[in-house]
Structure 1
Amino acid sequence: MDADLQAFDACLKEALVQTREWVPRWLDRLNAGLKDKELSARHLNDKQAFVEARTALESRRDLIATHFLAALADAVGNAMPGNDFQAQSGKAVSFDELELMGDDQVQETVELARVQQIVNMTVDHEIVELTARLCTTLGMQVVTVEANPLRADVIVSALMKTLKGLNVGPAIRSRWLQTGAISLGNELQGLYTRLSNQLDRMGVEPAGYAVVQMPEGRPNSGFAPLGERSSPTQDEAAPGNDALLTLDHLHQLLVGNLGQPDDEPRREAGTTGAGNAMVRTLASEVVSLMLKQISADERLLPPVREMLQGMKPALLQVARTDPRFFADRQNPARRLLDAITEHSLAYTNEQDRGYAAFSRQVRGIIDTLQKPGSDLADRFPGLLQHFNRSQTEAMAPEQVQARGLAVKTLVRVEQRNLLAERVAAEFRSRNDFDRSPGVVRRFLTGPWAQVVAQARLEVSNATGLGTSEVPSMRYSDILPDLLWSTQLAVASLNRPRLVKVIPSLLRTLREGLDSIDYPREQTEAFFQTLMGLHEAAYKTQRAEPLQDVQPSQQFEDDTEPWMQPAEARDTCFMDDSLSDTQPSFVDTQPMQREWVELKAEMVAQPPSQLSAGTWVDLWQDGQAVRCQITWASPHGTLFLFSGANGRSLSMTRRGLDRLIEQDKLRVVADHGVVNQALDEVARQAWLNSAKTDGI
């Protein structure tokens, strides 16, 4: 084992050994803390509550220690680099998830946020030093936080898992966390210090931290993912700003549980609690925060962000009558905002084709919404319908037709390739398959499997033909003769049969390859080899097998979809073999998100799993082109991209992955701008909850 990896392994082992020492010590400090609060409690109810919490702790002390050690060992193992692991964190709560959570889950998330906040503040310096040294042991030159399996959120998540597994009420668990958070941070601070000193003695130097410089003169670059900012801005931290919206309030708003005065009648389902001032205030705050995030989203052009702020008065008015409109994806106001922000991602410059018309239409929508009147809610459906229709009409008829043909062709290509895989498996299962030369096996599982698959797909058009006339049957029936004729040891013993089968065999092979328009130049080497095998079998009667010929590179097993030349033209197919010859984004203007961040996201979502609707920047023909995945095949093997300029192209899953690896394709947005802004609203509510009634 490499010396650095040995240091990494030794550090983890030492951490688990020391955990057996500090966990019991922390439980003792927690018990003492509960007793101190019990003695200092002014009210009888508070005193009784701490007595109950301390008694429950004392009766479960050994159980907590045992389960916590086991959970921590398991969590550290799962958090090792290379494992797809996410510690439970308030940051992971999305806006949509919050609506589905129960009250207990929300409270648990808030408790976790508060504990993590205190622990992280306590170990801030020590965890940075330890992470930097652990990254060095893993061969990293730049620090990656997730490379440290001993990070505080992993340990706090293990503690939460342990406490949830005990038969205690939420109130007791909450008092344990409130009382023990500071001492937990102190214990981890000492642990991290000792581990860093151990690595230092082993000669492990800390890795460096990457410094990302914001480019000058490019307003829509350097986009930082929402929820990743290190500290709030002065505006965010202003007294009273964002202070009202807690995670619990946001959750109650989403599920409609915020009460309303008894003397005010309940409204329709979509406007529950609309008469309650608290509801209206919270809804207005959500709208303001959402638009604030959109205005800071540098993936959108500055004029677009400015125009969208013009919708704020109308959206605030909608929030007063329908406080949950932003959470309802089918609400016309939400759909209109989604549609505008979605389409705006197509433009990277105000001079892009189509932007001027798009800008005029958005300004027209805003002018309509700003007109006074009580019919504001009724304007959104018509504006949405008109906007969507205009975007459809903006596409030239030939572009619409070409895109439809491309999708239809790609569906057929995937069907044929999936069927070809099954056909190849059938060929491999034959008893005589493994005895044939490798070049023949590769041909059968490659081009010929495509031939048979194509014929089977077209068999419905061959009604009325005899069994012998159905192409798929004839193409499969030649297998015994092809496999037999290429085995020198057996074919040389029956030259009359060899002479008889060769003409029809070659004729059927060429007919089948022509049926899928397989390039002749790619098969010529195979036919030369095949005729050489037949000639050798005819001229000799030796029983020893012929030495296998040089493998044909064209017919190596490949699970990637194959296209006929006409299909490639119809779908504007981008051959992934060309990606190596194309330049990357080196020395060009930076994209909207740092590539380090995108690679981290791809751990949780592999590139090939990108779905329809994702916006990307693709390096093509010497420039970065903004495209959207407008179609992805059901099995994720083929993708169709469309640009704002009307151009389309398709590629395979491997081609997509390779372009990302080579920094020639970068993800701009894999989900909606509004969705991401609302996720940031949930994050802000989480932060407010951690500050409110803090530990």
Structure 2
Amino acid sequence: MNARVDGAFGVCMQSALDEVGVWVPQWMTALNEGLRQRESSASSFNEKQVYLQSRTVLANYKTRISSRFVEELSEVIHGVQSVEVAEPEARKVQTLSLDDLELMDHDQVQGTVEMARVQQIVRMAVDEELVAFTARLCAARGMSAVKTDTNPLRPDVVVEALSRVLGSLHLDESVRTRWLHSGAVPLGKALQQFYASLTHLLERLGVQPAGYSVVQAPTPRSTAAQVQAANTEPGRTESVPVSSVPSTSDEDPVLTLDHLHQLLQGNLDNGGDAVTDQGTSGSGNAMVRTLAAEVVTLMMRRMAEDTRLLRTVRDLVQGIKPVLLQVARTNPRFFADRENPARRLLDAISSQGLAFTNEQDPGYSEYAELTGRVIGALKLAKVDLPERIGAALQRYMAQIKAQPSRRQGLAMETLAKVEQRNLLAERVAGEMRARNDYPRAPGVVRRFLTGPWAQVVAHARLDLSATRVDPNAGSRYMDILADLLWSSQLAQASRNRARLIRVASVVLRTLREGLDSIDYPREASEAFFQALMGLHEAAYRTQRSDADDRSLDSRLPSVDAGLWMHASEAKESGFMEDAFILEQPVFEDTQPMSRDGLPEEASALVTSMDQLHPGAWFDLREDQNLTRCQLTWSSPHGTLFLFTGPGQRSISLTQRGAERMIALGRLRVVADHGLVQDALDAVARQALLSSGQA
């Protein structure tokens, strides 16, 4: 990023800070005027009193609301003013999920709907100015393509800030609702002028707008507003297909958030004939089935458009839709129950499908055959469908687990043993550092002891099998330390050459024996032995001082003290060495890739070790290739991670290796939880959007 762009972004954010302090009080005045107009046009005395009360309460809280609103927005701006990072993390707008909705009460649902309506009104008012401002702001941040969610001042952020401010006040809900109704249009006008002013500023600073990437949508029935409002994810480039959210047609019933909430809570009347009522009688039971069927339809439509799955996998997944619609007739809430066999089967099928990026990938044909067979059998079932689904799920999971169990089990067992040995080696290294003669030894010796030799001692202590040739090796390898540390100190060893002659050969022989016991590569330790023999020779030839010790130590080679494992262990676990990672190229193109002619669902760079949890799917960069893999296991102490790639190939990383991969931008999250949950969350957001437009 050049200095001119850095400076433009900083100037823009500072100007935004100044302008926020001006337009927020002006908006409060406009809100008060809007309430006054509604009061004067009210058709009844009671309605006039309602708006009079709202104005009176606003007068009492005006100063507090204005100052807190300015503080909230200023905090957002301050959070992105660092120009050291190309994409500072802005505060994220909370997105509605099905789990959130299930935990809400009726008032919270209504408040969420009201906020959605305000957001919709504001977005419509600022659409043109927002597009122009975001394009120039992204360019000022050094981006070549527009990413709307990196705009920290987008309307949803502003409305969320206002929501937090109003939520912190002890107000009657009806008063808050009237403020939102009366203030939405003035807020849109204020933001319209705000964005236009900042756009002109960036234009005067010479910042040219970044480009918008346009992708042809395979399903044109959804609107751009629906994409932005219903399925926005932080950091996504504007190359998202329109079909990335559930679309609705004129024939689709409109699912509102209130209806979905009542369905989840089981609050709808269950009257009506359970057998003959097909959803047309108007009874409560008919409404329940109609809503449940609509949820299933929208959920499956979302999964059909999820390009993280191969097109052929999506076709397989769609085959189960008739089965789910039949389940919804007798169990309308099945999709909200994570333990329901029907949902678990859909989860398993879609999750396993994430493993494949090509139909030629190892294991794809077996997956497709198994999945097709299970779904086909369920579609033919006429009776006892819930029981049949449960049995099908058990068979499906049993066959899935049977395929990789042996290889994965060996890799996990190997890595668990490696972690145990390395943790013990750290304790052994601590014992060595605690010795009185350890600090006086040359650095090359100290590094050798706390690195390879600690591994030798740890291996000897753990290997307690009855077939051991030398059960006392562990103690011998520690006993040799006294002679090794003494002989490496020139000032000490040169004063007792007789002892040096006596112990030197024993020390060297024991060290080589210990390293051979763990198959430590000879070439990796040769530099250390050359240095140690040089120390012995120098001590034998002439008497040295402590100053000579320090001078020689500065010229001795270093020894890598990082995590180490046997060659056989590395092979069994697919170990990727830390040093190898640094030699590989990083992600040069951070735009979503394409597959099957459709845009890839935008994956996100991993930014924290907290995102590495078993079950999540990742794209991992190796050389110039991306490997789709699942994190299947992390060691008990979090020092080793096992990924499973195509054909059940194992890839293991140390904690340091994983951190380097993250720092180099070579790990991307494909899915950190189930695709079914993603689809259901999109349904909830679609219901919210429909409610806001009602």
TM (normalized to structure 2)? Answer: 0.83
Residue 77 of structure 1 contacts residue 149 of structure 1 at CA under 8 Å; is this kept in 2? Answer: no
| Count of equivalent residues | 659
Residue 76 of structure 1 contacts residue 154 of structure 1 at CA under 8 Å; is this kept in 2? Answer: no
The Cα shift of 1:573 comes to: 2.5
Tell me the SS of whatever aligns to 2:644: strand
Task: Measure the CA separation in 1 of the matches of 2:601 and 2:662.
Answer: 12
Tell me the SS of whatever aligns to 2:606: helix
The Cα shift of 1:465 comes to: 13
Give the 3 Å change call, closer, same or farther, for CA 625–539 of structure 1 in structure 2.
same
User: 2:374 — aligned with what?
Assistant: 365
**One-letter code aligned to 1:257:** N
User: 1:61 — aligned with what?
Assistant: 62
Is structure 2 residue 323 aligned with structure 1 residue 314? Answer: yes
Q: Specify which of 388, 400, 409 is matched with residue 404 of structure 1.
A: 409
What are the equivalent positions in structure 2 for 1:37-56 lying under 5 Å apart? 37-56=38-57
User: 1:688 — aligned with what?
Assistant: 690
Q: Deviations over 1:5-40 (max 9, x none)?
A: 343333322222222221111111111111111222
Q: Specify which of 208, 228, 231 is matched with residue 227 of structure 1.
A: 231
The Cα shift of 1:48 comes to: 2.9
Task: Measure the CA separation in 1 of the matches of 2:54 and 2:152.
Answer: 31
Q: Deviations over 1:544-575 (max 9, x none)?
A: 2332244535x2454xx321112112223233
**One-letter code aligned to 1:35:** R
The Cα shift of 1:242 comes to: 5.1
User: 1:305 — aligned with what?
Assistant: 314
Residue 325 of structure 1 contacts residue 334 of structure 1 at CA under 8 Å; is this kept in 2? Answer: yes
Task: Measure the CA separation in 2 of the matches of 1:235 and 1:678.
Answer: 10
Q: Deviations over 1:160-209 (max 9, x none)?
A: 221111121222222212211221122122222222323333x3313422
Task: Measure the CA separation in 2 of the matches of 1:639 and 1:111.
Answer: 45
User: 1:269 — aligned with what?
Assistant: none
What are the equivalent positions in structure 2 for 1:21-40 lying under 5 Å apart? 21-40=22-41
Task: Measure the CA separation in 2 of the matches of 1:246 and 1:255.
Answer: 14
Tell me the SS of whatever aligns to 1:338: helix
The Cα shift of 1:153 comes to: 2.9
Q: Specify which of 445, 467, 491 is matched with residue 440 of structure 1.
A: 445
Task: Measure the CA separation in 1 of the matches of 2:45 and 2:475.
Answer: 89
Give the 3 Å change call, closer, same or farther, for CA 456–663 of structure 1 in structure 2.
same
Residue 307 of structure 2 contacts residue 599 of structure 2 at CA under 8 Å; is this kept in 1? Answer: no
Task: Measure the CA separation in 2 of the matches of 1:615 and 1:254.
Answer: 29
Residue 428 of structure 1 contacts residue 434 of structure 1 at CA under 8 Å; is this kept in 2? Answer: yes
Give the 3 Å change call, closer, same or farther, for CA 142–489 of structure 1 in structure 2.
farther
The Cα shift of 1:662 comes to: 6.9
Residue 123 of structure 1 contacts residue 188 of structure 1 at CA under 8 Å; is this kept in 2? Answer: yes
**One-letter code aligned to 1:390:** Q
What are the equivalent positions in structure 2 for 1:610-621 lying under 5 Å apart? 610-617=612-619
Give the 3 Å change call, closer, same or farther, for CA 140–338 of structure 1 in structure 2.
closer
Give the 3 Å change call, closer, same or farther, for CA 105–536 of structure 1 in structure 2.
farther
Residue 140 of structure 1 contacts residue 207 of structure 1 at CA under 8 Å; is this kept in 2? Answer: no
Task: Measure the CA separation in 1 of the matches of 2:214 and 2:428.
Answer: 51
User: 1:93 — aligned with what?
Assistant: 96
**One-letter code aligned to 1:306:** D
Tell me the SS of whatever aligns to 1:628: strand
User: 1:602 — aligned with what?
Assistant: 606
Give the 3 Å change call, closer, same or farther, for CA 504–63 of structure 1 in structure 2.
same
Residue 573 of structure 2 contacts residue 651 of structure 2 at CA under 8 Å; is this kept in 1? Answer: yes
Task: Measure the CA separation in 2 of the matches of 1:647 and 1:304.
Answer: 21
Task: Measure the CA separation in 2 of the matches of 1:431 and 1:196.
Answer: 68
What are the equivalent positions in structure 2 for 1:66-465 lying under 5 Å apart? 66-80=67-81, 84-89=89-94, 92-201=95-204, 203-209=205-211, 211=213, 227-228=231-232, 236-239=247-250, 241=252, 243=254, 245-261=255-271, 276-352=285-361, 354-371=363-380, 373-393=382-402, 395=403, 400-425=405-430, 427-428=432-433, 433-458=438-463
Task: Measure the CA separation in 1 of the matches of 2:349 and 2:537.
Answer: 69
Q: Which runs of 5+ in 1 are unaligned?
A: 217-223, 266-273
Task: Measure the CA separation in 1 of the matches of 2:30 and 2:593.
Answer: 55
Tell me the SS of whatever aligns to 1:639: strand
**One-letter code aligned to 1:11:** C
Give the 3 Å change call, closer, same or farther, for CA 73–423 of structure 1 in structure 2.
farther
Task: Measure the CA separation in 2 of the matches of 1:256 and 1:156.
Answer: 31
Give the 3 Å change call, closer, same or farther, for CA 194–298 of structure 1 in structure 2.
closer
**One-letter code aligned to 1:66:** S
Give the 3 Å change call, closer, same or farther, for CA 103–541 of structure 1 in structure 2.
farther
Tell me the SS of whatever aligns to 2:643: strand
Residue 135 of structure 1 contacts residue 143 of structure 1 at CA under 8 Å; is this kept in 2? Answer: yes
The Cα shift of 1:690 comes to: 1.7
The Cα shift of 1:528 comes to: 0.6
**One-letter code aligned to 1:323:** P
The Cα shift of 1:674 comes to: 1.5
**One-letter code aligned to 1:71:** E
Tell me the SS of whatever aligns to 1:641: strand
Task: Measure the CA separation in 2 of the matches of 1:392 and 1:207.
Answer: 51
Worse-matched range after superposition: 421-430 or 521-530 = 421-430
Residue 137 of structure 1 contacts residue 204 of structure 1 at CA under 8 Å; is this kept in 2? Answer: no
User: 1:220 — aligned with what?
Assistant: none
User: 1:562 — aligned with what?
Assistant: 564
User: 2:675 — aligned with what?
Assistant: 673
User: 1:7 — aligned with what?
Assistant: 8
Tell me the SS of whatever aligns to 2:143: coil
User: 1:511 — aligned with what?
Assistant: 513
The Cα shift of 1:525 comes to: 0.6
Give the 3 Å change call, closer, same or farther, for CA 128–457 of structure 1 in structure 2.
farther
Residue 115 of structure 1 contacts residue 178 of structure 1 at CA under 8 Å; is this kept in 2? Answer: yes
The Cα shift of 1:339 comes to: 1.9
User: 1:270 — aligned with what?
Assistant: none
Residue 217 of structure 2 contacts residue 241 of structure 2 at CA under 8 Å; is this kept in 1? Answer: no
Worse-matched range after superposition: 16-25 or 231-240 = 231-240
Give the 3 Å change call, closer, same or farther, for CA 372–473 of structure 1 in structure 2.
closer
Residue 462 of structure 1 contacts residue 470 of structure 1 at CA under 8 Å; is this kept in 2? Answer: no
Task: Measure the CA separation in 2 of the matches of 1:643 and 1:374.
Answer: 39
The Cα shift of 1:375 comes to: 1.8
Residue 135 of structure 1 contacts residue 206 of structure 1 at CA under 8 Å; is this kept in 2? Answer: no
**One-letter code aligned to 2:27:** W
Tell me the SS of whatever aligns to 1:651: strand
Task: Measure the CA separation in 2 of the matches of 1:585 and 1:615.
Answer: 18
Q: Which runs of 5+ in 2 are unaligned?
A: 219-226, 233-239, 275-282
Residue 609 of structure 1 contacts residue 636 of structure 1 at CA under 8 Å; is this kept in 2? Answer: no
Q: Deviations over 1:198-235 (max 9, x none)?
A: 3333x33134225366799xxxxxxx998245757999
Give the 3 Å change call, closer, same or farther, for CA 50–567 of structure 1 in structure 2.
same
Backbone CA RMSD of aligned residues: 3.9
Give the 3 Å change call, closer, same or farther, for CA 477–289 of structure 1 in structure 2.
same
User: 2:543 — aligned with what?
Assistant: 541
Task: Measure the CA separation in 2 of the matches of 1:166 and 1:123.
Answer: 28
The Cα shift of 1:624 comes to: 5.9
Task: Measure the CA separation in 1 of the matches of 2:468 and 2:660.
Answer: 47
Give the 3 Å change call, closer, same or farther, for CA 492–76 of structure 1 in structure 2.
same
**One-letter code aligned to 1:318:** V
User: 1:642 — aligned with what?
Assistant: 644
Task: Measure the CA separation in 2 of the matches of 1:621 and 1:196.
Answer: 42
Worse-matched range after superposition: 70-79 or 405-414 = 70-79
Residue 29 of structure 1 contacts residue 183 of structure 1 at CA under 8 Å; is this kept in 2? Answer: yes
Q: Deviations over 1:409-459 (max 9, x none)?
A: 01111222233344445545656545433322322332123233334444x
The Cα shift of 1:594 comes to: 6.9
Residue 145 of structure 2 contacts residue 213 of structure 2 at CA under 8 Å; is this kept in 1? Answer: no
